[in-house]
Amino acid sequence: MALNHLSLLRAPLCQSLMRQVRSPLAAATRVSTPLLCPNTACSPAACTRFYATKKAKAKAKGQSAKVNINSALVEDIISLEEVMEDMTAVLNMLKDDFTRNLSIRTSLGVLDHIVVTTRDGKFPLKQLGQISMKSPQLIMVNMSSFPEATAAAAHALRESSMNLNPEVDGTIIKVPVPKVTREHRENLAKLAKQFSNKAKDSLRRVRSNAVAQVKKAKEGHSEDTIRLVEKQIQQMADNIAADMDKQLAAKTKELLG
């Protein structure tokens, strides 16, 4: 009987001790979730989705750097359409130089861009003389219709960027075509680089002139607006410059084979 009475006394005591040990853990568990996600019903694991990764931050940073201004909103400061037209004209001029001056194929049209300066003005060579192919390595220019322009035509051919050495025989100009050697291809590739650098100089002038015009319009406009317009112009120039690099790479690959 004494032993049974002692067991009955131990049971309530053990239950009381167990409640005191469990209650702090339970309380801690109950408050931990609200501390991690206040005012929400999400679990701690779900909350981690709100943290941006480094990749996402870098992507967001790159997107924020781009500018796209409505031209109509800043037309009283500068015409972005005209600036773009000027920049595009520089790019088109580079493409034209590549096509006319850096061909490794001989054809009648290879001399179409030659302009002859005479006393009466400037005229395309094909309007002053009859151009014909004597062979793949020789072009003939018959200047009998305008014999007085023969010397000027030979000078224009010699001063062109095609590395030509014309020979004058009366009113006939013989134009030997350089052989397509490896050295010739490399010289053409160097010339392509020179054309590209010249075009980029022209592009920088267009950008500088545009930025200077924007700076003159500071009065009456916020600094943020002026800064955004300048960034827009720089972004336009960067896009055109990148296109120029692509044109140069393609032409260099074509020339070097």
Average of per-residue pLDDT across 57-85: 71
* End position of a domain, from candidates 121, 156, 176: 176
Q: Is residue 243 in some structural domain?
A: yes
The confidence score (pLDDT) of residue 22 equals: 47
In a domain, residue 5? The reply is no
Q: Which domain covers residue 118, as residue numbers?
A: 108-176
Q: Among 116, 142, 176, give the residue marking a domain's end.
A: 176
Q: Tell me whether residue 65 is in a domain.
A: no
- For residues 113 and 156, what is the distance between their CA atoms, to the nearest angstrom? 10
Say yes or no: 120 and 166 in one domain.
yes
Confidence of residue 128 (pLDDT cuts 50, 70, 90): very high
In a domain, 140, yes or no: yes
Does residue 49 form part of some domain?
A: no
At 250 the pLDDT is 95
Domain harbouring 91, CATH code: 1.10.132.20
pTM value is 0.58
pLDDT digit string (tens) for 133-187?
A: 888 789 999 999 999 999 999 999 998 877 789 999 999 999 998 777 888 889 8
Residue 33: the pLDDT is 40
User: Rounded to 5 degrees, what are φ and ψ at 155?
Assistant: -65, -40
